[in-house]
Chain A
Amino acid sequence: MSEQSTAQVETPARGLGVGISSILRNWSVPIFFLVISIAGIAAARLDINYLINEVVGRFGRNAFLVISLIIPVMAGLGLNFGIVIGAMAGQTALVIVTHYRIDGLAGFMLAAVISVPIAMMLGWLVGRTLNQAKGREMVTSMIMGFFANGIYQLVFLVLLGTLIPMKDPVLILGSGIGLRNTIDLIGLSYSLDRAMDWLWNGFVFTSIGATRLGPWRFPICTLLVIGILCVVTTFITRTKLGQEMRAVGQDMHIAQVAGINVDRTRIIATMMSTVLAAWGQLIFLQNIGTFNTYSSHEQVGMFSVAAILVGGATTRRATIWNAIVGTLLFHTLFVVSPLAGQRLFGVSQVGEYFRSFLAYGVIAVALALHAWQGRAGKSK
């Protein structure tokens, strides 16, 4: 049954209309959002230089997290809303590093190292749980994010200072129990973004003819790290492990028959994603510079998932390009929509709500479309 449907999908691509029609089919979602973005930019009459600077900054901040979603999709786990848990692991490492006052790039690297065992352990737990909920991985990973949030608050709001001894007037609340709501990351702020300032500070401010270019600031080192991640992710897909993940993602039963340890492969994919998400959250927070102890991680899953879906990914297929294009488009919309709302309705709040409507709506529509197509394919 499924062979037939794949054959049907592929034939037109091999036919005459390879060029435009295949581009339209593969990239229809991003094109749609590109049109909305352009309309929004026009409506808000936005300064392009400001927009570019904002989007570049936001890209550096978020791309790593979005890319961390790719591996679980490949292994057939769908979109891993559980990256929230990885983000918590990153934040835990960050609390430790901030407590010992280790600043700069060294502090950032140390946080990255500390977060690995925490994220691996949590990822293993998530992977095991998801193996017991096959076919419902996405909803389970989402609820696990909420559940882990409860545990996180229990640890950092109640147990810290009571069961876990820690004295630090800067980090701990006045009562001696629990972390403060916001933690200032002065020592770590921009530690990765500007780590290569000795080479070039990434600042662009020139003009070509009459058009002004800049001021833009590129987070050079972060962009480099994201580039490395892209290469590594592509490399992983070509290794034996990557091939096994693909096989599991295609069909668990066939993979099992072929001698692949399905459950183990799925757990590894989840662990990788969780570790990457922990690092992604570290990158995110060093760019922001302050850290909302109890809420910085909450939106990570939703926004990353929305971004990769805007980039044209589905729950069963996601590429590096989906992640990159999606992050750029989603954050363009993110910058533009409040301003467009202000212009069009006179209330900037409308834009704020439109923004969350967009994030949720994209996910709803993408999931619905995919489930719909999946069923249409099966019933043929």
Chain B
Amino acid sequence: MSDESKADVRQYVRNAYEQLGLPRLIIIIFLLSLFAVAVIMRMDLAILVKDSITRIGMNGILVLAMLPTLACGVGLNFGLPVGVIAGLVGAVTSMNWGLKGFAGFAAATAIAIPLAVIAGYLYAMLLERVQGQEMMVGTYVGFSLVSGMCMFWLLAPYRNPAMIFALGGKGLRTTITLDRTFGKVLNDFLGFSILDVYIPTGLLLFMGVFYVAIALFFKSKAGLAMRTVGSNPMYARSSGINVQGMRTLGVILSTVLAAIGILVYSQSYGFVQLYTAPLTAAFPAVASVLIGGASLRKATIGHALLGTVLFHTLLTIALPVTQTVLQGADISEIARMIMSNGMIIYALTRAERR
């Protein structure tokens, strides 16, 4: 090989590395080594792949919900539980009416979206007043809303016996099964198996539709205006864009996506999780989009997609693989904590240096 072509290769590798960035490289290597271990240990790859695909479909829209707030300059939306709660209220109300299948899912979405729009609007009004501290205020608004809603779940007038605590008869259960309502309606829509791997077609299609819709939105006039607000608010203002309106729109969009996202998540999981479960809903989504390569200043559909695939594949296969290798000790939860929070710290400490 001549020196020139060597230099070319080196340049190419360097470009690829810079494009990818160190954190992603580490995570990809970690992911590949987990797969390698799985092959060596003769684990059932079909199950791992199937579970990974399902998990990606489950979480895709929740991760997507990060994009609008990043694009309009509000930052990472740690207040994701605001939308999640709207989604859960929709799910629970639809179940209370005893709706089944697609009708149930549609009703849940139909209730959740207006709630999310209202909640998102109020949340946006608050964030507008606390500029500079959006992430911190958002985190605690989310936390307090979730714990406030705990009282709601306990005291709300839902009467369907399948949903309330068996003993005592007061308050909704912590986890409610969706078996007899809209559990897995998307997953099983046009689902098929290939090489023992079950493909949840409906789930992936649904996720795909939203990704395409958001991608088109960012190409539209409003979407471009939103990005301008995020990257350069002064310029946006001087070119006649309604900065506050765009931020509000971004937050509402994010909240609505979170509401739909949790419904998709719940139907795939087969259970609705209430009470303190949504408390940490924001963190995996935040970590995913950052792992995908987004920063506080720049986030694209590609970042969300890559992040979802990488992070959730990792989470799905880490548990079975580590359990096979190290009998008993569960590293996956620890790995998740270190990796996702490490990623968030990385993003928070790098943002100003660009």
List residues of A whose CB falls within 8 A of some B CB. 129, 132-136, 138-140, 142-144, 146-147, 149-151, 153-154, 157-158, 175, 177-178, 345, 347, 349-350, 353-354, 356-357, 360-361, 363-364, 367-368, 370-372, 374-375
Contact = CB atoms under 8 A, between A and B. Distances in A.
A361 B133 contact: no
Contacts of B349: 129, 132-133, 140
A354 B137 contact: no
Nearest to B131: A375
A154 B148 contact: no
B341 A371 contact: no
Interface in B289-310: none
Q: A-B pairs with the 9 shortest C-beta distances?
A: A150-B337, A371-B130, A364-B140, A150-B338, A147-B341, A360-B144, A353-B150, A132-B349, A360-B143
A175 B126 CA distance: 51
A205 B330 CA distance: 51
Nearest to B134: A371
A147 B136 contact: no
A151 B336 CA distance: 11
Contacts of B27: none
B89 interface: no
B150 A143 contact: no
Given A150-B338, A361-B148, A139 B348 contact: yes
A301 to B, nearest CB: 12
Contacts of B338: 147, 150-151, 154
A354 B151 CA distance: 7
B176 interface: no
Contacts of B141: 364, 368
B129 interface: yes
A188 B351 CA distance: 45
B155 to A, nearest CB: 7
A136 B348 contact: yes
Contacts of A356: 147, 150
B171 interface: yes
A160 B43 CA distance: 28
Contacts of B329: 157-158, 175, 177-178
Interface string B272-291: 00000000000100000000
A136 B135 contact: yes
Nearest to A153: B334
Given A139-B135, A357-B147, A367-B137, 9 more contacts: A146-B337, A147-B345, A150-B342, A175-B329, A178-B329, A353-B154, A357-B148, A361-B140, A363-B144
B328 interface: yes
Interface string B238-272: 00000000000000000000000000000000000
Contacts of A178: 329
Contact of B130 (A136, A157, A368): A368
B129 to A, nearest CB: 5
Interface string B199-216: 000000000000000000
B137 A364 contact: yes
A133 B140 CA distance: 19
Contacts of B350: 132
A54 B351 CA distance: 46
Nearest to B350: A132
Contacts of B29: none
A141 B220 CA distance: 38
B320 interface: no
A357 B150 contact: yes
Contact of B154 (A140, A158, A175, A350): A350
Nearest to B353: A132
A272 B333 CA distance: 31
Nearest to A154: B334
9 contacts: A139-B139, A139-B348, A150-B341, A157-B334, A158-B326, A178-B329, A364-B141, A367-B136, A368-B126
B98 interface: no
Contacts of A139: 78, 135-136, 139, 348
A350 B143 CA distance: 16
Given A129-B345, A178-B329, A360-B144, A371 B137 contact: yes
Nearest to B338: A150
A133 B345 CA distance: 9
A143 B78 CA distance: 11
Nearest to A155: B334
Contacts of B137: 364, 367-368, 371
Contact of A144 (B130, B345, B352): B345
A142 B329 CA distance: 27
A282 to B, nearest CB: 24
B344 interface: yes
B334 A368 contact: no
Given A154-B334, A367-B133, A143 B148 contact: no
A78 to B, nearest CB: 8
Interface in B127-169: 129-133, 135-137, 139-141, 143-144, 146-148, 150-151, 154-155
A364 B143 contact: yes
Contacts of A370: 133
A177 B148 CA distance: 39
A133 B353 CA distance: 10
Contacts of B337: 146-147, 149-150, 153
A151 B331 CA distance: 11
Nearest to A346: B170
Contacts of A364: 137, 140-141, 143-144
Nearest to A353: B150
A113 B147 CA distance: 38
B254 to A, nearest CB: 17
B277 to A, nearest CB: 13
Contact of B147 (A146, A157, A360): A360
A367 B138 CA distance: 10
Contacts of A350: 151, 154-155
A151 B337 CA distance: 8
A157 B344 CA distance: 23
Nearest to A354: B151
Contacts of A140: 345, 348-349
A149 B312 CA distance: 21
B88 to A, nearest CB: 15
A133 B335 CA distance: 24
A356 B147 CA distance: 6
A183 B342 CA distance: 29
A357 B151 contact: yes
